[in-house]
Each structure stands twice: as C-alpha cells, then as structure tokens.
Amino acid sequence: MKLAHARDIRTGGHGWLTNPFFFLLKDPAGAVTLEGPFKALAVLCHFVQHPGQLVTKDDLFAAAWPETVVSDATLASCIQEIRQALGDDAKRPRYIETVHRRGFRFIEKVVSSQ
C-alpha cells in the first residue's frame, strides 16, 4: 500500500476514522471495526485517497495485491467486508458506489487531518 504520509482520514457527516499508518478503521463511537494490515483496509485506504473518483478493479488490485494475481471474487469479498464494517449497502450506498462494468467510487466526503 502506497501512502504519502500518515494521517487520519475522516469521512464527512458520519465520523468514520481511517488511519492508514496504524491500519485502523474506527466507527464514530471510537470502536475499531477493521484492524491490521488486511487487504480490506488497503482497499479502503485507496478509496479514501481517491474520493469521488472512479477506481477500477485494476487500481484496487495494484493497491492491495501488487505483483500478485487474485480473482475478482477475492476483490468482491474484500469490498463486502468493507461495506459490512461501514454498515453500507450496495443497493443504497452511502460510501462505496458500484459503477457497473467499470469499477467503484467512494462517494462520501473525505476530510484529512495531520
């Protein structure tokens, strides 16, 4: 996972906190919902570093599995894990929008702090 520098990344109105340096995702109450250098957290960090932008499957493969071949099912499982941690719904997304046959988009506002 390529990160320019460690920082907290908060999503707009919902108060989620991602700290890629410490490999954490915390909910608005401060409870840890994803932890460790898991692939799901690498994918989530890639999303929040590119808010509002179309992110292709190839982009996500390169971000979380560099120089490793993985299946689309592995990525789908990873996206599902993130959605579950965020309480998101693929049919009515608040965070990760599926762009049919093109990729995904992180649709929540992102605020970085040092």
Indicate if the pLDDT at residue 18 is higher than 60. Answer: no
What pLDDT is recorded for position 86?
A: 82
**Strand ranges, E, within the chain:** 8-11, 17-19, 24-26, 32-35, 54-55, 96-99, 103-106, 110-113
Instruction: Please state, in angstroms and rounded to a whole number, the distance separating the CA atoms of residues 55 and 31.
Output: 28
- What pLDDT score was predicted for residue 28? 61
Specify the 3-state DSSP secondary structure of 44: helix
Residue 91 has pLDDT above 60, yes or no: yes
Report all structural domains of the chain as residue ranges with CATH numbers, in order of start.
8-113 (1.10.10.10)
Give the model's pLDDT for residue 8: 47
Residue pLDDT, tens place only, 57-75:
999 999 989 989 999 999 9
Strand 32-35 vs strand 54-55: parallel, antiparallel, or unpaired? unpaired
Residues paired with 110 in a beta bridge = 11
Cα 59 to Cα 8: distance, rounded to the nearest angstrom: 22
Residue 56 β-bridge partners: none
Q: How many CA atoms lie within 13 A of 11 on its CB side?
A: 23
Higher-pLDDT residue of 17 and 45 is 45
Q: Residue 27, class by beta-carbon neighbours within 10 Å (0-12 exposed, 13-18 middle, 19+ buried)?
A: middle
